[in-house]
Amino acid sequence: MIQILIGLVALLLLIVGFYLLKKQEVFLVLIPDEEENKSFLSQFGYIYLFLGVVGIVVASLNDRVYALLFLIALLSLAAVFSILFAQKMSSSN
């Protein structure tokens, strides 16, 4: 069961990473269309893609410790992205 959920999270990370890299217009509606913001989105897109691949590996390993470390890393990164994105949104107003 944990393998399936980690696999779904990894798939979601790959989709979000793709959107951050290729479909930045979706996010640039909320923040100014500047080069700094585009590089911010690209940087986190690559990180999310990397975490998606790591998630697939973790799901195939079926080890509880690796799964917990993956989830801790994922949640920490998501929190950092959310805080930085919210700062960029509030500074654009």
**Average pLDDT of every residue of the chain:** 87
pLDDT value at position 92? 61
Residue type, 34: E
Kindly report, residue by residue over 18-63, the tens digit of the pLDDT.
Answer: 988 888 777 777 777 778 888 888 899 999 999 999 999 999 998 8
- How many secondary structure helices (H) and strands (E) does the chain include? 4, 0
- CA separation for the pair 62, 65 (Å, rounded): 9
- Pair 24, 41: CB distance under 8 Å: yes
What is the pTM for the complete model shown? 0.85
Quick one: which H or E segment has residue 49?
helix 35-61
